[in-house]
């Protein structure tokens, strides 16, 4: 029974550590919702298969969000009309190329790795988003198919 208690206690401590980053992510998502209208996000990140992916990766580079804080922001972009590949590209590029991660890379690794890490993250984000847009499934089509099959 003590092991279960210890697991729950440590899980709670991890939750407390991550909570501030999640709140910051919600704050950034709120700012994006207020200042960037859904029609503009749809226009730039919703149509096309390659351009929205590159734009969302570029848009995510300067935002200092960690892996936890980027989730609510990407969900907000998706709700405002960004396609799947653009949201996925944003989720990968943002934590990999943030100012905080670059500073940690500089402190823990050499300058060459400090440059290679965000570049590799950017390339990974773009390639993953493009693959998602070309080979992934569309959520809206899946929902329509499920409704049609269930008769609802």
Give tens-digit pLDDT for 48-60. Answer: 899 999 999 988 8
pLDDT band at 12 (very low <50, low <70, confident <90, very high): very high
Domain count, the chain: 1
The percentage of residues in the chain with a pLDDT greater than 90, rounded to a whole number, is: 31
0.85 surpassed by pTM = no
CA dist 20 and 12 (Å) reads 13
For residue 89, the enclosing domain spans 2-150
Give tens-digit pLDDT for 73-122. Answer: 888 889 888 899 999 999 999 888 876 677 777 878 888 988 998 899 99
Residue whose entry in the numeric block shows the structure tokens 């206690």: 9
Quick one: pLDDT at residue 9?
93
Quick one: pLDDT at residue 10?
92
Quick one: pLDDT at residue 144?
58
Return the ∠ at Cα 119 (arms to 113 and 47), rounded to 5°.
Answer: 160
């Amino acid at each position: 029974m003590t092991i279960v208690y210890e697991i729950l206690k440590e899980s709670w401590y991890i939750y407390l550590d991550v909570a501030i980053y999640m709140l910051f992510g919600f704050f950034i998502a709120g700012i994006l919702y207020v200042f960037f209208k859904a029609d503009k996000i749809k226009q730039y990140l919703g149509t096309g298969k390659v351009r929205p992916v590159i734009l969302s990766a570029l848009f995510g580079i300067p935002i200092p969000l960690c892996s936890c804080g980027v989730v609510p922001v990407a969900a907000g972009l998706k709700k405002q009309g960004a396609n799947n590949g653009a949201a996925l590209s944003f989720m990968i590029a943002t934590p990999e190329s943030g100012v905080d991660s670059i500073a940690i890379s500089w402190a823990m690794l050499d300058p060459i790795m400090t440059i290679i890490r965000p570049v590799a993250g950017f390339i990974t984000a773009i390639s993953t988003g493009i693959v998602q847009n070309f080979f992934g499934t569309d959520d809206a089509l899946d929902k329509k198919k499920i409704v049609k099959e269930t008769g609802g």
